[in-house]
Chains A and B, each alone.
Chain A
Amino acid sequence: MLLNPLTLHLPKTRLEAARLYKELEDSKVLAGGTFLLNSMKLLKTKGTKTARNVLSLAKVEDLKGVTFQGDTLTIKAMTRINDLLASPLPDGHLKILHTVCKNISTNPIRNMATVGGNLTCRYTWTEMGAVMIALDAKMHFLGPDGKEDIIAPEDFFKNAARSEKLFTHVTIKTQGVARTAYRRVKKTVHVDIPLLAICVKTEIKDKKWYNTRIGINNGSAFAQRDPVLEEFLNKSSSSPDLGKEALNHLTNTIYDTRSSDYKQHMFRVSLKSAIEEISQKGTL
């Protein structure tokens, strides 16, 4: 057997799942399984104990799907990465989500892995955190009493991606003139987990940047914003040199300054090109 003995729980409703999430001891939530089952198998090979209870969300239909109503995009937690990739998105900056999905791992993984799993699995290198921060998304959590908490992703990750309640969906408001750029660098050619992921979102009027949000995933810590860079860009205008100048205005601790020269270089190259991409569009 690849896995230690476990009890599988298969709730059918969100509330039932939220109650079990609160009640079950020694438990893990199973979304797509690409992180959880792999790590449980690995721990078993090392002789380590694994969770006795597994709370599967596979049969909770109300946790699946992507909808767009009014000015709000809703992505439910159990939406598979390839299902989000196949979902029509409103014109504008939210289309960056398709780029993000397209660059996650391999095809069978994208068929299995979920948006919720990517956000809440507590692996520091997953992609969606930085993107949701940049897009100013809101994460929704459901308690056993049916009450909902709404939390900004940067606050969720500041709390080391821990929650007392069940993550159910994410909402993102459209912003008509916003622009985005995304960069993801693989750890190695053969290991398709990200070394880093960067998402930049801004609004531009008369070449001037405002409401800029920078989501950074350095792989070592949970995704976070770069306030120094955001402040600099919010005082800047699109220009050919903006990407280069921006590199002098970073919150250096975020960029994992103790890491290898290669990673530092890739951070600078990726940030510069993402800002240049937006800046060039912003001068049109």
Chain B
Amino acid sequence: MSSISPQEIKQEFLKSKTGITGIIILSSLIIISVIAIITIPIETFQEWNNPEKWISYPKVATPVWVNLFMIEKIPEHKILDSPNIQTNSNGEVFLTSHQFGVNFDYDDFPNDFIYIFSSEYSGSPILEMSVIRPDGMKLELISTSLPHANSEIIHSERIFSTDSSIKKNLLLQSEKFLFNLDNLSSEDIVFSKSESNKPLKGNYIFSIDTFSINSQPQSLESEFIIGGKAFGIMGTDELRRDLAIGLLWGTPLALFIGLVVSIASVVMGLLYGVYAGFKGKKTDETLMRFNDVLYALPALPFLIILSVTISNSIFVMVGFLMIFGWVGIAKVARSMSLQIKTRGYVDAANMMGQKDSKIVLKHILPQLLPYAFASVAISVPAAITTEAGLSFLGLGDPSFPTWGQILHDANTFGASSRGLWWWIMPPGVMVAITGLAFVFIGNALDAIVNPKLKR
């Protein structure tokens, strides 16, 4: 542990391949965090546990890119929210037509289709939904009147494909199909070839026409959802949440937890250990016995009890993790400072009458800095996996979607025995990659600081 200048460390570090790999991974994680913070508004992840927010998303949908490897393409979940709007007025009757075009190019039927709208009107407008299929066939789906209103009101409704009147309308048009429609669901009929019950590929146009008398309804919201089995880059979970958002937001959270915990514990440990080693005698003895006590506390059970009884807020948790983090570092720092203390220049400083605090801060601590950096890097993965473990047990902060939290949900819904790999793999891989980045950096630094490990 001779003194190495920062330049030497930098040079040595740049030579080590693992160190460089670690830095590359870490910087890409930081970029991901920045992207997450900029592109995904904070409100989104605060609504992570609000089922209302995710209602238009599909349940346990695979990632979209799975289709690249599939011969039979899985239908994608499509949320169409920009309809082609046409308005017509024929004297007293106003016609508003919303058209949604969709290219359906999959080998399986969609799960369902839903039309979500809310509009402001008076009177009793009539709503008609129909679809023009790629083979030119036009199917009438539903014709319903909106609730009557004497004055202007806002009405919101969802029309589901499971609606019995859609099925009834389709059965009335059963002569267009060459097979029996009785036991099929509406979406299986609408998206089916006419000769056999197989998905028909091509462009579908769903049009929703609203007829009203005297006044034109104001459309406030108009969304057409084709419920599929694939969605987004990372898929969705049982509660319809977009896993990509959870994973993205998990990155800054994990980095925050890991870095804050490890930096704070290293600083605490260093100061404590150096002070004990420098003072020696009674002070050293007392401080080290206290250290022994903390060292012997079983960390995980205590973390669990603390988070159950005191608070499971993420910030409090960071504090708890620190309590157990600094102990080992203090021990090493103490023994190192015992060695440095015997050096001539410390004696000299002492004789010159410098204050203890100044000697510790100016002459001993700087010598320990390389070790400090290495231990920061090495203790980050432990902090991240511990937090992930606590969240996995369901003791984490429910208001933040950390990776452990996602895995906890996955386990609760039996993702591994149901084969929902996209729910289990990515969070764990992210935990591991983040850990690896810091382990790489830490090992590279360690090899420089501890020349004994060099071959």
Are A and B subunits of one complex? no
Q: A residues near B, CB below 8 A? A: none
